[in-house]
Amino acid sequence: MLRKSQYSAEYYENKRVKETPVQEYIDKLNQEHQKRIFSYVNKLVEESGRLKFPYTEHIKDKIWQLRPGPYRLFYFIFAGERIILLHIFRKKSEKTPPREIGRALNNYADFINSN
């Protein structure tokens, strides 16, 4: 469950196909992994979107990644107080794969163009 404060966390929605890929991904995880991801997201919300390494890492432009265990959750802050959760994946290598960054950037562009 996502907690709300002055800041809020929201799932990116692909409006063309009516999907929320981050939510769908998290829903398929076991409860322990979901709990860890939500605890990081809630901490991000409580800290007004401002967490430092090792919780977060800047990726490119306005895109950041939240680092709950083996997962990487890309997000950005929209209109000052809305944290938009763009893309999530399980990291299996040292470097973040360019393909995963590309997905986050595509979701970012889609969000911006539809809002």
> CB-side exposure of 99: number of CA atoms within 13 Å?
4
Length of the chain in residues, anyone? 115
* Residues 62-105 pLDDT 10s: 999 999 999 999 999 998 899 999 999 999 999 999 999 999 99
Quickly state the pLDDT bin for 6 (edges 50, 70, 90).
Answer: confident
Domain boundary assignment for the chain: 8-114
Listed residue (90, 86, 82, 84) closest to 102, CA to CA: 86
CATH number at 8-114: 3.30.2310.20
* Residues 12-63 pLDDT 10s: 999 999 999 999 999 999 999 999 999 999 999 999 999 999 999 999 999 9
Q: What is the pTM of this model?
A: 0.92
Contact 2, 45 (CB under 8 A): yes
Phi, psi of 105 (to 5 degrees): -65, -40
Q: What is the pLDDT of residue 2?
A: 56
